[in-house]
A and B are shown apart, each in its own frame.
Chain A
Amino acid sequence: MIYEIETIHEGSKINIGVLKKIRVSKKEDCQVLDFLKGRPDKEYKKVEALITMIGDHGLIRNRQKLLELKGKNFEHFYELKSKPLRIFAIYLEEKRQLVLLEALLKKARKLPVNVYKRIYKKYRRILNDIT
């Protein structure tokens, strides 16, 4: 399986990309966009607004919408919060691009730390391989 980053939105400050999987003899797919398309219209539009806002303003100050997950295990790891959804992302400083990695529906009040660790570990490795 091959992964690639595709830019989905060019902002005046930073670009927003998604990670897509390219399978042999199958069409490419993207977890984040496929997941969002399956959500109600209202939720999708709220995410669109957050994406364009980040594109135009860069990494916004509002931690209730874009939270940098800090810790010794994480580097440039972000969580986009748009009720009831969470989208994890890694910021590629040299490319000025925020790559959306995985979207999920937040069920619990607080996500277990293991979820963050699992996602970061998985995608950091993929991004290191392709960038």
Chain B
Amino acid sequence: MTLHEEFQKRLEKDKKTVEYQIERLLLEINENILKILEEKSMTKKDFAKRMGVSPAYITKLLNGQPNLTLKSLLKIALTLDVKLSVEIKDYAKIYEIEIPSDTRYRKATLSSKKVRKVLEREGTYSEGFAA
């Protein structure tokens, strides 16, 4: 077996694991944040200030802090003035949760009840969705 085959074989198996998916997702999120900061010509220090956190928190975040909550993600999105969307794909259906633009991040929580309310209001709630 070549090194390529060996690497790809294990990768195919590992891609289905939580550890791989979390790491990849964190890398994707952080790359997105850095891209937006670059587009908005915002430094990490400015970002931390606007978000009301310490620069050390931003460093931790970019280092792949694993316990990133939906609330933290929402806080980041609102600070950067971008939309946060969560997609749960089962090949046939895509659920997208849109956060209303008037939501103030200080008050925002993403409890299952609130997610359900948003989905019901949008008319996209289905019993199969478990928040």
Taking Cβ atoms with an 8 Å cutoff, the residues of A that contact B are 6-9, 18, 20, 28, 30, 33, 41-42, 44-46, 48-50, 52-53, 57, 60-62, 64-65, 83
Q: A45-B17, A45-B19, A62-B30 are in contact. Are A6 and B11 (CB under 8 A)?
A: no
**Docked-complex contact B23 and A62, CB < 8 angstroms:** no
**Docked-complex contact B27 and A30, CB < 8 angstroms:** no
B residues contacting the other copy or chain, number (CB 8 A)? 25
| Residues on the B chain within 8 Å of A7, using CB | 4
Measured CB to CB, the nearest residue on chain A to B27 is A53
| Residues on the B chain within 8 Å of A8, using CB | 3-4, 7-8
**B31 on the A face (CB < 8 A):** yes
How far is the CB of B5 from the nearest CB of chain A, in Å? Answer: 9
| Residues on the B chain within 8 Å of A45, using CB | 14, 17, 19-20, 23
Give the contacting residue for A60; candidates B11, B20, B31, B64; CB below 8 A. B31
**Docked-complex contact B28 and A6, CB < 8 angstroms:** no
How far is the CB of A41 from the nearest CB of chain B, in Å? Answer: 7
Q: List 20 A-B contacts (CB under 8 A).
A: A6-B4, A8-B4, A8-B8, A9-B4, A9-B8, A28-B3, A33-B6, A44-B10, A45-B14, A45-B17, A46-B23, A49-B24, A53-B24, A53-B27, A61-B34, A61-B35, A62-B34, A62-B62, A64-B62, A83-B63
**Docked-complex contact B38 and A48, CB < 8 angstroms:** no
Against A, the Cβ 8 Å flags (1 = close, 0 = not) of B84-125 are: 000000000000000000000000000000000000000000
Against A, the Cβ 8 Å flags (1 = close, 0 = not) of B41-71 are: 0000000000000000001001110000000
How far is the CB of A102 from the nearest CB of chain B, in Å? Answer: 15
Q: A8-B8, A48-B14, A61-B35 are in contact. Are A33 and B20 (CB under 8 A)?
A: no
**B2 on the A face (CB < 8 A):** yes
Interface centre among A18, A48, A64 (most CB of B within 10 A): A48
Measured CA separation A53–B14 after assembly (Å): 14
Give the contacting residue for A6; candidates B2, B19, B24; CB below 8 A. B2
**Docked-complex contact B11 and A53, CB < 8 angstroms:** no
Measured CB to CB, the nearest residue on chain A to B18 is A45
**Docked-complex contact B11 and A33, CB < 8 angstroms:** no
